[in-house]
Amino acid sequence: MTSPPLPPSDYYQAGVYTPDESAGFLMRRVLSSILQQADAELAVHDLTYVQWLPLYKLMLSSDTTSASLARDLCSDPGAITRALDRLEAKGMLRRERSTTDRRVVHLVLTDAGRAIAAQVPQALASVLNAHLSGFSHDECRLLIGMLRRMLHNGEALRAAQAPNAPPANG
């Protein structure tokens, strides 16, 4: 059971709103910086964000299809298909048709794909730790908690706007 949405904050005011004080704008810039640095670290494996993210997700989920991967990554199915095509061409994954439902194609990492996907957590940890330089452990936990709360609020907004839609993640 989900709790009713809380009333919106009144922190931002239209007349004095500036991007350099916008949580959304700053989060987007931080994410862009993180992804650029992660791409730089994973370039030695000839991977970009568009490729290493699905590769890593496939390592975490054993029974995955292109459609479920696109949903999980909140990505366009066409973009996911293109990324998977590149990963397949590099020998990092293969597509296997289901033996019980010929319409379903499962995505399976190859040994090479698993080996490279296993490198992703170290690269991400290094990049995130560099971005959190000067933060205490408690501040990191607080930041993560606040971001989760913002995400929860966004999910509640979407659920309220689409009352017949199934709840997110559950």
How large is the average pLDDT for residues 115-122? Answer: 93
Q: Where are the beta strands (DSSP E) in 119-169?
A: none
Residue 14: which pLDDT band, with cuts at 50, 70 and 90? confident
Q: How far apart are CA 125 and CA 115, in angstroms?
A: 17
Q: How far apart are CA 110 and CA 31, in angstroms?
A: 29
How large is the average pLDDT for residues 89-93? Answer: 95
- Is the per-residue pLDDT at 62 higher than 80? no
- Is the per-residue pLDDT at 75 higher than 60? yes
Residue 79: which pLDDT band, with cuts at 50, 70 and 90? very high
Instruction: Name 60's Cβ contacts closer than 8 Å, sequence gap at least 6.
Output: none
pLDDT digits (tens, 9 = 90+) for 150-167: 999 999 988 888 866 555
* pLDDT number for residue 11: 87
